[in-house]
Amino acid sequence: MHTTRDQMSQRETCYHGLRMTAEEYFQLGETFQRYELIDGVICMSPSASALHQRIITRVSAEIVAHLKLNPVGEVYVESDVSFGPGPSRGDIVYRPDITFLSSPKAASVKDRIAVAPDVVVEVVSPSSRRYDTETKKSDYERFQVAEYWIIDPHADELIFYYLDAGKYVAQTPSDHKFASRTIEGFILDLQAVRALFK
């Protein structure tokens, strides 16, 4: 994905704070705070709400149940993923709400996830909507994450992107079900997820 100097300049002005590399970030160890590293700048986000947690639990439970019968990969909840350098060359480490790795990629994971996931799921809060729908979408596309699911309970939206020739294309679910192109045989029950929005 080509990024112009103006776009890089605009992006750099969005993030102010302590600069560090991915290696320095991981040396922080486990904390009670929720951090991500965006273009080399450490950023803190609020703890997830109860609604947010219920949605993560529901979606991840459906994937885990599927994987028990169809062991095609592994699912991780709120785990750091080191993507590499961002548009302005600072490291990017995101902590997606849900991450799926196919079996070959999962086998390469030791202490940290340092490969592009096959599927990433983000549950949107009002304060993170632009970040999830623009910044992260752009980065996940650039790092070739095969599917990106955005669940926005406040806007009553579920958006599913898949890579087509290196670019994200929105996939429209049918009959209240979403069939993943990446997690073989997996179908997400959208009615069950939407029932949590209320």
Task: Give pLDDT, residue 31.
Answer: 61
Of 3.20.20.370, 3.40.50.300, 3.90.1570.10, 3.40.1160.10, the CATH number of 5-197 is 3.90.1570.10
Per-residue pLDDT of 6-33, as tens digits, reads: 443 344 434 446 777 777 777 776 665 6
| Nearest alpha-carbon partner for 140 in 118, 109, 114 | 118
Which residues touch 23 (CB under 8 Å, ≥6 apart)?
none
Model confidence at 1, pLDDT cuts 50, 70, 90, reads very low
Bridge partners for 164 per DSSP = 167
Per-residue pLDDT of 82-132, as tens digits, reads: 998 887 788 999 999 999 999 999 999 998 999 999 999 999 998 889 989
User: CA 190, CA 123: separation in Å to the nearest integer?
Assistant: 14
Structural contact between residues 43 and 37, judged by C-beta atoms closer than 8 angstroms:
yes
Which spans in the chain are helix H? 5-12, 22-26, 50-69, 103-107, 129-130, 137-142, 190-194
Give the total residue count for the chain. Answer: 198
41-45: strand order across its sheet: 41-45, 34-38, 91-94, 81-85
Per-residue pLDDT of 141-195, as tens digits, reads: 999 999 999 999 999 999 999 999 999 999 989 889 999 999 999 999 999 999 9
Structure tokens at 77: 């909840």
Per-residue pLDDT of 39-56, as tens digits, reads: 777 777 766 789 999 999
